[in-house]
């Protein structure tokens, strides 16, 4: 995409088009030297070295980049994925030359490469050109080259790999090209693994691999160790303890009842059930001497610390001693009687235990003289002496173990074995004492006389009990776990259902939102369309409103002119009426006055006639009456004349009133037209104003409608997305509910199964305890290893078990089924001897040995291509990955 953008920007002139490479970076075609030769080019000697240095790292039989292999002329002729690279006889037409001369991409070798390949020189190019022109022929001589492997420097000893056996007995560590195997219970080096083929016959060169050890792994049974190096994997086998020899010790079928071994002298002394005492050379397995104490059975045998003398306690209660080298009798028959146990105090003196808890100290060459005698008390079946002879350890039948000071015979320490003591063993360094009795063996630290370990039964059976107890505790805990798991899964189911319900509700909500917002959008679109129609009609409506306003304004003005005219006419009529009213008033007053004068005159005339009549002859009265009558007639005449003058005035008044009424009516009519016209004008003005205002508000309303539509459309889109998400959530939560329901069913099924397991595990535990109890056999004997790191115990069933003396951790068992014995003793070279109960002695190897069983790879045709950095066995140990 960035190149497309760059090209577009260049094409449109947004950025200047400049060359991507500077002049210094421009590829230069490599020159080819013209060679003058008198013999053909040798591919193997001249061309192959060039390819090997610059080309074969990427173009070989294993890494054929571009499907091109340049190792031989035959593979070159096959070409690569783009076809032939060489045209025999035509170097100019060969793509190989174009690539190596850097004429055609890809340039070869690449400028930046990881194998330090350089561009070819003119001379090298000339050789390749000549070889192609000569036909591109030749052969590669197959010369076997022997690698001169050099040893890994001693200082180069990195630890790349470690491994611990599944049983916790061994730890392996690679250090450089060596492998060290450590015995974990004793924390000692058990073996240094060696491949005999790498030491060239020199056993001192204990080398496991040519190269540094890269990986280690133990097999599931711990019997095999796999190690990985360069193109090789090796299997190292642990050889279990095995019977080396089976020797007949005593002639005539005499049963061995006591035995002692002096490893330093490679000598063993055996005493039997018929009183026979015999020394055997362990190297040649030949008898050295034999003596016989007739009628007696050997009960105990003790060798001096230097191994040069042996003391044998017989059933008659006497102790007899011999020189182990010659068989010469040392002790005479008058040794202290009634001895129950014997031990060498030093190389010259013996300590013997007697009934009543008596311990006697006497010299082997003078048994009749008791040097010291102590009475610690109790029945004493076992004695032992610490190195240096300063302290005697006394094992009692009442389970007590006493430590006596040889100087004064006082008890310095008392410990409890927990069972009747039958034997005592002292480690060579004197730092530890082992007490035997019953099925228990206890290890004691002689510095503080504290118990460091208790050995009992078969440790594998005890571990089976521990594992069964752990399994029982686990399945019981599992019940609680499954209960909690069911509750948890039910809670998860509830949560899932709640989530599903919530998702369904959310879906319904979003669907409702979609409907609502769709309606809002539709309504807004309808409103916008209506507004558009109104906008379209608005200019016409405004034009109509303007014209209507103008028309009604004309009507109003006309009405107002009529009102003004009517008002003027009314004013004129009112003025005329006022004048007529004034004339009427004046005339009426005059009429009233004339009428009153005429009335008065008539009344006076009537009175005068009445008086004159009464005074018939009174001419004065008659004359007065005539004068009054003439006055009355004149006044009446004046009144009549006034009445005649009143008629026009009355008519003028009537006319004025009529005109006034007409003007009033005209004004009222005109004014009646003004008010509706004014109202209509106001209405038209309002309509026009409303249209003008609407015109002003129209853009805002359109904007609002557009916003409503956009918001509704956005809400619709969002609702659709939310619906899609909600549908997914509904489907997801629905699947979760199904899964949760299935999990609840599985949890309940697991709970039901877990409820059955405690019964099974309890039965398995009971069985394991029975087996462990069956293995709780009495321990007959014990012996320390040469270095004191192990102690071997012998059970009544003939089983020998090795234990670590430091902490009592179990080591390896030695199974000798069908070979019961009563005694176990240490021979030289780490061997053990088992005897007792028969005339025979069994010699076995006490420590497992490691040896190379098989190598996978390591040669030129190894199936492994590189360093083996990881290893692992299949669960059955049959396959190695």
Q: Which of 814, 779, 185 is nearest to 425 (CA)?
A: 779
List Cα–Cα distances, 316 to 333, 335, 397, in angstroms: 11, 11, 20
pLDDT of residue 159: 92
pLDDT of residue 141: 66
Separation of alpha carbons 677 and 553, rounded Å: 8
Distance between alpha carbon 761 and the CA centroid of its chain, in Å?
Answer: 33
Residue 250 dihedral angles phi and psi, to the nearest 5°: -115, 140
Contact (Cβ atoms closer than 8 angstroms) between residue 320 and residue 314: yes
Contact (Cβ atoms closer than 8 angstroms) between residue 50 and residue 127: yes
**Among residues of the chain, what percentage have pLDDT more than 70?**
80
pLDDT classification of 395: cutoffs 50, 70, 90:
very high
Separation of alpha carbons 649 and 587, rounded Å: 8
pLDDT of residue 618: 64
pLDDT at 848 over 50: yes
Mean pLDDT of 315-340: 88
Non-local (6+) Cβ contacts of 686 within 8 A are none
Positive or negative torsion for Cα 688, 693, 694, 699: positive
Contact (Cβ atoms closer than 8 angstroms) between residue 559 and residue 670: yes
Bridge partner residues of 445 (DSSP): 432, 450
pLDDT at 496 over 60: yes
Contact (Cβ atoms closer than 8 angstroms) between residue 877 and residue 221: yes
- The residue with greater pLDDT, 193 or 593, is 193
Contacts 24+ apart (CB under 8 A), 683-689: 684/545, 684/548, 684/549, 684/552, 685/549, 687/545, 687/548, 687/549, 688/542, 688/545, 688/546, 688/549
Within a 10 A sphere around the Cβ of 706, how many other Cβ atoms?
12
Peptide bond preceding 479: is omega within 30 degrees of 0, i.e. cis? Answer: no
Non-local (6+) Cβ contacts of 235 within 8 A are 224, 225, 226, 852, 853, 854, 855, 856, 880
Per-position b or e across 425-450, b if 16+ CB within 10 A of its CB: bbbeebebbbbbbbbbbbbbebeeee
As a whole number, the mean pLDDT across the chain is: 82
pLDDT at 1 over 50: no
Residue 526 dihedral angles phi and psi, to the nearest 5°: -60, -45
Mean pLDDT of 475-481: 87
- The residue with greater pLDDT, 456 or 595, is 456
pLDDT at 681 over 70: no
Separation of alpha carbons 483 and 489, rounded Å: 10
pLDDT at 16 over 50: no
Contact (Cβ atoms closer than 8 angstroms) between residue 399 and residue 438: no
Q: Which of 324-338, 617-631, 694-708 has the lowest mean pLDDT?
A: 617-631
**Among residues of the chain, what percentage have pLDDT more than 90?**
26
pLDDT in tens, 746-758: 988 888 888 888 8
pLDDT of residue 234: 94
pLDDT classification of 448: cutoffs 50, 70, 90:
very high
pLDDT in tens, 352-390: 999 999 999 999 888 888 889 999 888 999 999 999 889
Angle, helices 459-614 vs 619-774, to 10°: value is: 180
Contact (Cβ atoms closer than 8 angstroms) between residue 820 and residue 797: yes
Contact (Cβ atoms closer than 8 angstroms) between residue 398 and residue 412: no
pLDDT classification of 34: cutoffs 50, 70, 90:
confident
Separation of alpha carbons 60 and 69, rounded Å: 5
- The residue with greater pLDDT, 848 or 192, is 192
pLDDT at 212 over 50: yes
Q: Which of 794, 877, 799, 792 is nearest to 185 (CA)?
A: 792
Sheet strand arrangement including 800-804: 779-784, 790-795, 800-804, 810-814
pLDDT of residue 71: 85
Mean pLDDT of 585-597: 69
Residue 454 dihedral angles phi and psi, to the nearest 5°: -125, 120
Query: Vertex 866, ends 863 and 870: CA angle to 5°?
Result: 95
Query: Vertex 140, ends 138 and 142: CA angle to 5°?
Result: 150
Distance between alpha carbon 228 and the CA centroid of its chain, in Å?
Answer: 30
Residue 383 dihedral angles phi and psi, to the nearest 5°: -130, 150
pLDDT classification of 204: cutoffs 50, 70, 90:
low
pLDDT classification of 799: cutoffs 50, 70, 90:
confident
pLDDT at 489 over 80: yes
Bridge partner residues of 382 (DSSP): 395
Query: Vertex 34, ends 30 and 37: CA angle to 5°?
Result: 140
Separation of alpha carbons 515 and 42, rounded Å: 88
Separation of alpha carbons 471 and 838, rounded Å: 43
Separation of alpha carbons 306 and 428, rounded Å: 12
Bridge partner residues of 411 (DSSP): 404
pLDDT of residue 720: 85
Separation of alpha carbons 462 and 772, rounded Å: 6
Locate the DSSP E strands across 675-719: none
Separation of alpha carbons 636 and 221, rounded Å: 177
Q: Between the ranges 38-42, 540-544, 825-829, where is the mean pLDDT highest?
A: 38-42
pLDDT at 405 over 50: yes
List Cα–Cα distances, 62 to 31, 47, 56, 70, 865, in angstroms: 32, 20, 10, 11, 11
Separation of alpha carbons 799 and 816, rounded Å: 6
In the chain, what are the domains?
A: 28-133 (no CATH), 146-239+849-881 (2.130.10.10), 462-771 (1.10.287)
pLDDT at 831 over 70: yes
pLDDT in tens, 51-80: 888 888 888 887 778 888 888 888 888 888
pLDDT classification of 689: cutoffs 50, 70, 90:
low
Per-position b or e across 656-678, b if 16+ CB within 10 A of its CB: beebbeebeebbeebeebbeebb
Query: Vertex 218, ends 217 and 222: CA angle to 5°?
Result: 175
Separation of alpha carbons 43 and 88, rounded Å: 14
Separation of alpha carbons 496 and 498, rounded Å: 5
Residue 174 dihedral angles phi and psi, to the nearest 5°: -90, 130
pLDDT of residue 706: 80
Per-position b or e across 713-748, b if 16+ CB within 10 A of its CB: bebbeebbebbeebeebbeebbebbeebeebbeebe
Contact (Cβ atoms closer than 8 angstroms) between residue 209 and residue 229: yes
Q: Which of 285, 370, 263, 236 is nearest to 848 (CA)?
A: 236
Contact (Cβ atoms closer than 8 angstroms) between residue 413 and residue 449: yes
Contact (Cβ atoms closer than 8 angstroms) between residue 396 and residue 421: yes
Q: Which of 460-464, 479-483, 664-668, 711-715 has the lowest mean pLDDT?
A: 664-668
Separation of alpha carbons 119 and 54, rounded Å: 8
Which SS3 state, helix, strand or coil, does residue 194 take? Answer: coil
pLDDT of residue 10: 32
Positive or negative torsion for Cα 804, 810, 813, 819: positive
- The residue with greater pLDDT, 97 or 701, is 97
pLDDT of residue 78: 86
- The residue with greater pLDDT, 352 or 546, is 352
pLDDT at 665 over 60: yes
pLDDT of residue 300: 93
pLDDT of residue 645: 66
pLDDT at 122 over 70: yes
pLDDT at 632 over 80: no
Within a 10 A sphere around the Cβ of 687, how many other Cβ atoms?
16
pLDDT classification of 146: cutoffs 50, 70, 90:
low
Mean pLDDT of 636-640: 68
pLDDT classification of 14: cutoffs 50, 70, 90:
very low
pLDDT at 2 over 50: no
Contact (Cβ atoms closer than 8 angstroms) between residue 310 and residue 301: yes
pLDDT classification of 18: cutoffs 50, 70, 90:
very low
Mean pLDDT of 781-801: 90
Left if phi > 0, otherwise alpha if psi is -120 to 50, otherwise beta: which for 409? left
């Amino acid at each position: 995409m960035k190149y497309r953008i760059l090209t577009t920007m260049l094409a449109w002139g947004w950025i200047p088009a400049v060359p991507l490479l500077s002049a210094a970076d421009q590829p230069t075609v490599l020159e080819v030297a013209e060679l003058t030769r008198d013999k053909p080019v040798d591919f193997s000697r001249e061309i192959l070295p060039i390819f090997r240095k610059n080309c074969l790292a990427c173009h070989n039989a294993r890494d054929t980049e571009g499907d091109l292999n340049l190792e031989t002329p035959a593979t070159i002729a096959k070409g690569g994925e783009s076809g032939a690279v060489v045209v025999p006889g035509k170097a100019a037409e060969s793509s190989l030359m174009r690539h190596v001369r850097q004429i055609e991409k890809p340039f070869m070798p690449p400028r930046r490469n990881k194998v330090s390949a350089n561009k070819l020189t003119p001379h090298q190019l000339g050789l390749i050109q000549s070889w192609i022109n000569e036909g591109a022929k030749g052969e590669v001589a197959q010369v076997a080259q022997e690698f001169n492997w050099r040893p890994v420097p001693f200082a180069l000893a990195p630890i790349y790999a470690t491994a611990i056996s599944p049983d916790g007995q061994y730890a392996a560590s690679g250090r450089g090209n060596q492998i060290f195997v450590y015995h974990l219970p004793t924390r000692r080096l058990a073996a240094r693994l060696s491949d005999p083929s790498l030491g060239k016959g020199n056993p001192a060169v204990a080398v496991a691999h040519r190269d540094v050890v890269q990986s280690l792994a133990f097999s599931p049974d711990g019997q095999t160790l796999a190690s990985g190096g360069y193109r090789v994997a090796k299997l190292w086998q642990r050889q279990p303890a095995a019977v080396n020899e089976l020797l007949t010790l005593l002639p005539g079928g005499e049963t061995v009842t006591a035995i002692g071994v002096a490893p330093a002298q490679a000598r063993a002394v055996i005493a039997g059930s018929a009183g026979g005492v015999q020394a055997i050379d362990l190297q040649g397995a030949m008898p050295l001497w034999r003596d016989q104490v007739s009628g007696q059975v050997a009960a105990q045998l003790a060798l001096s610390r230097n191994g040069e003398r042996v003391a044998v306690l017989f059933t008659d209660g006497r102790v007899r001693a011999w020189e182990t080298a010659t068989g010469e009798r040392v002790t005479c028959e008058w040794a202290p009687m009634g001895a129950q146990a014997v031990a060498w105090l030093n190389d010259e003196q013996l300590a013997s235990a007697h009934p009543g808890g008596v311990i006697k100290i006497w010299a082997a060459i003078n048994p009749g003289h008791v040097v010291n005698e102590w009475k610690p008390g109790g029945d004493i079946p076992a004695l032992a002496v610490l190195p240096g002879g300063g302290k005697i350890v006394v094992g009692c039948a009442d389970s007590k173990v006493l430590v006596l000071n040889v100087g004064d015979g006082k008890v310095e320490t008392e410990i409890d074995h927990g069972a009747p003591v039958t034997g005592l063993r002292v480690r060579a360094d004197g730092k530890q004492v082992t007490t035997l009795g019953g099925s228990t063996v206890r290890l004691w630290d002689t510095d503080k006389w504290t118990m460091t370990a208790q050995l009992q039964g078969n440790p594998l059976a005890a571990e089976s009990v521990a594992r069964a107890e752990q399994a029982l505790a686990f399945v019981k805990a599992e019940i609680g776990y499954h209960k909690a798991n069911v509750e948890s899964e039910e809670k998860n189911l509830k949560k899932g259902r709640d989530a599903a319900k919530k998702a369904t509700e959310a879906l319904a909500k979003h669907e409702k939102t979609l409907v609502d917002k769709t309606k809002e959008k539709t309504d807004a679109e309808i409103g916008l369309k209506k507004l558009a129609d109104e906008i379209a009609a608005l200019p016409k409506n405004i034009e109509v409103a303007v014209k209507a306003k103008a028309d009604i304004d004309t009507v109003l003005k006309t009405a107002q002119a009529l009102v003004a005219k009517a008002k003027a006419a009314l004013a004129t009529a009112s003025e005329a009426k006022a004048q007529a009213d004034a004339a009427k008033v004046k005339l009426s007053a005059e009429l009233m006055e004339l009428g009153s004068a005429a009335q008065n005159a008539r009344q006076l005339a009537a009175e005068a006639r009445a008086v004159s009549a009464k005074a018939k002859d009174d001419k004065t009265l008659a004359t007065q009456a005539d004068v009054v009558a003439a006055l009355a007639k004149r006044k009446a005449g004046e009144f009549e004349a006034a009445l005649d003058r009143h008629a026009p005035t009355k008519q003028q008044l009537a006319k004025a009133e009529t005109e006034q009424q007409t003007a009033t009516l005209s004004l009222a009519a005109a004014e009646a037209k003004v008010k509706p016209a004014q109202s209509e004008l106001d209405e038209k003005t309002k309509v026009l104003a409303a249209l003008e205002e609407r015109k002003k508000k129209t853009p805002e309303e359109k904007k609002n409608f557009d916003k409503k539509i956009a918001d509704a459309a956005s809400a619709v889109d969002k609702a659709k997305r939310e619906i899609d998400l909600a549908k997914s959530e509904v489907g997801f939560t629905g699947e979760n509910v199904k899964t949760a329901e299935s999990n609840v069913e599985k949890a309940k099924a697991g709970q039901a199964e877990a409820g059955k397991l405690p019964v099974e595990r309890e039965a398995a535990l009971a069985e394991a305890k029975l087996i462990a109890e069956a293995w709780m056999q009495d321990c007959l004997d014990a012996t320390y290893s040469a270095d004191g790191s192990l102690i071997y115990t012998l059970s009544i069933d003939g089983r020998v078990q090795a234990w670590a003396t430091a902490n009592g951790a179990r080591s390896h068992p030695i199974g000798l089924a069908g070979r019961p014995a009563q005694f176990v003793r240490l021979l030289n070279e780490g061997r053990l001897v088992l005897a007792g109960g028969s005339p025979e002695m069994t010699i076995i190897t006490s420590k497992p040995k490691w040896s190379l069983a098989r190598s996978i790879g390591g040669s030129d045709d190894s199936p492994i291509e590189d360093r083996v950095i990881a290893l692992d066995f299949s669960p059955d140990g049959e396959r190695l990955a």
